[in-house]
Amino acid sequence: MLRQSMFAPAERAVASRLLADAEASLERDARRTRECLRRLAALIEAPSDSAQGPGAIARGGLAPWRLRRVEAHVDRRLASPIAVAELAAVAGLSEGHFCRAFKASVGQTPHAFVVSRRIERAQDLMLTTAEPLSQVALQCGLADQAHLTRLFRRHVGATPLAWRRTYRQEH
């Protein structure tokens, strides 16, 4: 149960739904679970202001519709190179303004966000397919298996092969 002091009533309802959805999808859909938990973490980390209603924009942040467009674009194009200029164009903003607003909204730079999504996609592919790691790397927009291994170890704390062996056994 979520403490009442942590969230306003509307935020508490959203957080409860996200937790329930994550729990329900835990066994069957790792990607959906990860997305629910990512959104819940963003809700928890966001500064709470009782004057702001649901869907309020973080000061200096992106409008929710712009953020959704950028996230969808990143997810569609993960296998390809993604430039900040491209994301700024999707959001309809200059590169500088986009980078500042994106970081205010998400808490990380656009590049770090893209890398995180690539690692998440790699994890999904490693759990759901038997593709060799070199193919997983290419499908995630990374240059080669070595690139995947460097980024994966930095973000997850284990090599892709060790992670795959550990988590494939659980599923």
Section 66-74 average pLDDT: 96
Is 142 within 8 Å of 118 (Cβ atoms)? yes
Q: Residue 39: what pLDDT?
A: 73
Q: Residue 93: what pLDDT?
A: 97
Q: What confidence category does residue 23 fall into, taking pLDDT thresholds of 50, 70 and 90? A: confident
| Whole-number Å distance between alpha carbons of 50 and 8 | 7
Per the model's pLDDT, the better-predicted residue between 26 and 55 turns out to be 26
Q: Which positions ≥6 away from 127 have C-beta within 8 Å?
A: 30, 164, 167, 168, 171
Q: Residue 7: what pLDDT?
A: 57
Q: What CATH code is assigned to 114-170?
A: 1.10.10.60
Q: Residue 111: what pLDDT?
A: 97
Is 133 within 8 Å of 161 (Cβ atoms)? yes
Q: Residue 53: what pLDDT?
A: 47
Is 61 within 8 Å of 101 (Cβ atoms)? yes
Per the model's pLDDT, the better-predicted residue between 75 and 56 turns out to be 75
Q: Residue 4: what pLDDT?
A: 39
Q: Residue 71: what pLDDT?
A: 95
Half-sphere exposure (Cβ direction) of 135: Cα atoms closer than 13 Å: 6
Confidence check: pLDDT of 3 > 80: no
Q: Residue 35: what pLDDT?
A: 72
* DSSP structure class, residue 49: -
| Whole-number Å distance between alpha carbons of 21 and 14 | 10
Q: Where exactly are the structural domains of the chain?
A: 1-56, 114-170
Helix axes 160-170, 145-156, angle to 10 degrees: 70
Q: What confidence category does residue 27 fall into, taking pLDDT thresholds of 50, 70 and 90? A: low
| Whole-number Å distance between alpha carbons of 7 and 21 | 18
With 0-12 CB in 10 A as exposed, 13-18 as middle and 19+ as buried, what is 5? exposed
Is 58 within 8 Å of 46 (Cβ atoms)? yes
Confidence check: pLDDT of 87 > 80: yes
